């Protein structure tokens, strides 16, 4: 990965995005990120309607190792994507080597190929983070098939299914959620082509 901020061209669609670190102390950035999450929840885009209350989101950010914001352009600063990486809640050690990755996008940044691009970016960020994570978990609601398939494409396997895990918009009852896992390899650091990254 290049130093941030930088420009990144998605391999699947050749759309160029502006990437910057998520300054979690910046209240306007936190509000923009929280709004992106609320919008995704309304679309049932792998975010439960009550999954991220403000207090829980603040706690996640407190423990976050890496967080980046993806903008449509450097000039407009229209937030269309968010990647957050933090120590996995499943680890029973004060020295975690396993992370959780949360990926949230706006409606215009969707589709299985684009999600695969974003997954590769998230894994690369986890691999090169200060903790040098060796394993990664993501959680995907079962009805979010596009997310499930993108994760499987990138080597994630389903390790568990949590029944009645959350409430998705448009569903009258609670829905199940997959816990998906991937072992991170050294080559994952280089899975994001440097030719598509441009330092500013």
Topology adopted by domain 6-192:
Aminopeptidase (3.40.630)
Domain layout of the chain by residue ranges:
6-192
Q: Which of 21-25, 56-60, 179-183 has the lowest mean pLDDT?
A: 56-60
- For 51, list phi and psi in degrees, rounded to 5: -75, -35
SS3 content of the chain, % helix, strand, coil (to 5): 30, 30, 40
Within its chain, how far is the Cα of 124 from the centroid? 12
The pTM (predicted TM-score) of the whole model is 0.91
Per-residue pLDDT tens over the stretch 89-115: 898 888 899 999 999 999 999 999 999
Nearest to 9 by CA among 114, 163, 124: 114
| Chain mean position to CA 1 | 16
**What pLDDT score does 24 carry?**
87
Mean pLDDT is lowest, of 76-80, 96-100, 182-186, 192-196, for: 192-196
């Amino acid at each position: 990965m290049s130093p941030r901020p930088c420009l990144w061209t998605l391999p699947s669609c050749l759309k160029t995005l502006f990437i910057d670190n998520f300054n979690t102390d910046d209240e306007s950035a936190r509000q923009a990120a929280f709004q992106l999450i609320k919008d995704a929840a309304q679309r049932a885009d792998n975010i439960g309607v009550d999954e991220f209350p403000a207090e829980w989101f603040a706690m996640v950010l407190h423990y976050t190792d890496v967080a980046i914001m993806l903008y449509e352009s450097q000039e407009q600063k229209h937030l269309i994507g968010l990647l957050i990486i933090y120590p996995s809640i499943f680890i029973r050690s004060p020295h975690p080597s396993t992370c959780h990755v949360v990926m949230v996008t706006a409606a215009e940044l969707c589709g299985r190929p684009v999600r695969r691009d974003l997954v590769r970016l998230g894994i690369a960020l986890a691999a090169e983070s200060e903790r040098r994570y060796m394993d990664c978990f993501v959680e995907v609601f079962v009805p979010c098939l596009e997310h499930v398939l993108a994760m499987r494409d990138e080597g994630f396997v389903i390790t568990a299914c949590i029944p009645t895990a959350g409430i998705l918009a448009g569903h009258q009852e609670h829905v199940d959620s997959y816990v998906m896992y991937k072992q991170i390899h050294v080559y994952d650091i280089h899975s994001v082509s440097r030719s598509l990254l441009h330092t500013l």
